[in-house]
């Protein structure tokens, strides 16, 4: 069963989207190729320790909470939701819930674009580190130094 699950994970992963966009592979072939790339580079630890999505999810929750607070304050300070037909006892709760959902969704959409960019940088760096170094030597050196510090066996 574990071998079957490992095979599924190799074919269906978030890194495959980058290969689909770059090379036009089918999603299944892209998933297999990108996992093979990471295995050949010895980067299984790097993709397993990907904390970017966790940080962005936490940030989205915080933004949702702040917008929920703003929704609560607006609902209690103005007759906006009372005029919309919401019961006066529950308009503060409705404003908070509405604010949380709006804040969470909008921030999640924004953070997903940034997370996709980070994933693309990782895949592109794994694919062609020498081209990156020839075009951006200082940035390549900083990235290599940081990754070797965090993952000594990856380079």
Total-model pTM: 0.76
How confident is the model over 10-20, as a mean pLDDT?
A: 84
State the first-to-last Cα distance of the chain, in angstroms, to the nearest integer: 32
Q: How far apart are CA 66 and CA 61, in angstroms?
A: 9
The predicted pLDDT at position 114 comes to 94
Closest to 63 measured CA to CA, from 19, 108, 97:
108
Task: Convert the pLDDT of each residue in 94-151 to its tens digit.
Answer: 889 999 999 999 999 999 999 999 889 889 888 888 898 899 899 889 988 887 887 7
């Amino acid at each position: 069963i574990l071998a079957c699950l490992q095979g599924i994970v190799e074919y269906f992963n978030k890194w495959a989207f980058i290969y689909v966009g770059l090379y036009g592979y089918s999603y299944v072939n892209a998933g297999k190729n990108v996992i093979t790339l990471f295995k050949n580079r010895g980067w299984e630890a790097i993709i397993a320790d990907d904390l970017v999505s966790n940080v962005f999810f936490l940030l989205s929750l915080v933004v949702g909470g702040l917008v929920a607070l703003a929704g609560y304050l607006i609902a209690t300070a103005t007759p906006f939701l009372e005029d919309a037909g919401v019961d006066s006892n529950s308009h503060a709760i409705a404003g908070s819930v509405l604010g949380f959902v709006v804040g969470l969704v909008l921030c999640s959409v924004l953070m997903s674009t940034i997370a996709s960019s980070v994933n693309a940088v990782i895949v592109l760096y794994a694919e062609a580190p020498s081209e990156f170094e020839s075009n951006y030597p200082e940035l390549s050196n900083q990235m290599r130094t940081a990754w070797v510090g965090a993952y000594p066996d990856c380079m």
